Amino acid sequence: MSELKKHKHIVDQLKSQYFWDADISKLDDRAAKRLIIDRVFSLGSIQEINLILEHYGRKKVVDVLRNLNYIDPKTLNFAMRLFNLPKNAFTCHNRKQLNPQHWSS
């Protein structure tokens, strides 16, 4: 199996709908790990999340999630519980605290 095919393998096991804005035939799991991890944690099933954890390893997944600029509140809460981390360990939470939204009338 060629190196490129080996690294595309994880994408072939995920729903193409997660990557509506990317050419999935050219998606490489090393170059696009941030996108893949973000989309699977936001949109995927528990089985797909476990697949991502197995493929990239817990440390890499945690590192990517902690450094994302935005994670929806439900996914953030899930990641906090799954990895036993406080909210302030995530860049998205700290950015939100630095830029508070004003009340709309």
Domain ranges of the chain: 3-98
Close Cβ partners of 8 (under 8 Å, ≥ 6 residues apart): 27, 28, 29
In contact, 100 and 77? CB cutoff 8 Å = no
Longest dimension (CA), the chain: 59
Q: What is the pLDDT of residue 97?
A: 53
- For residue 104, what pLDDT band results from cuts at 50, 70 and 90? low
Tens of pLDDT, residue by residue over 64-95, are 999 999 999 999 999 999 999 999 999 988 76
Tens of pLDDT, residue by residue over 5-62, are 445 578 889 999 999 998 888 888 899 999 999 999 999 999 999 999 999 999 999 9
Model-wide pTM > 0.95: no
C-alpha 32/C-alpha 52 separation (Å) is: 13
Would the pLDDT of 99 be above 70?
A: no
Q: What is the pLDDT of residue 44?
A: 95
Q: What is the CA radius of gyration of the chain?
A: 15
Higher pLDDT, 97 or 50: 50
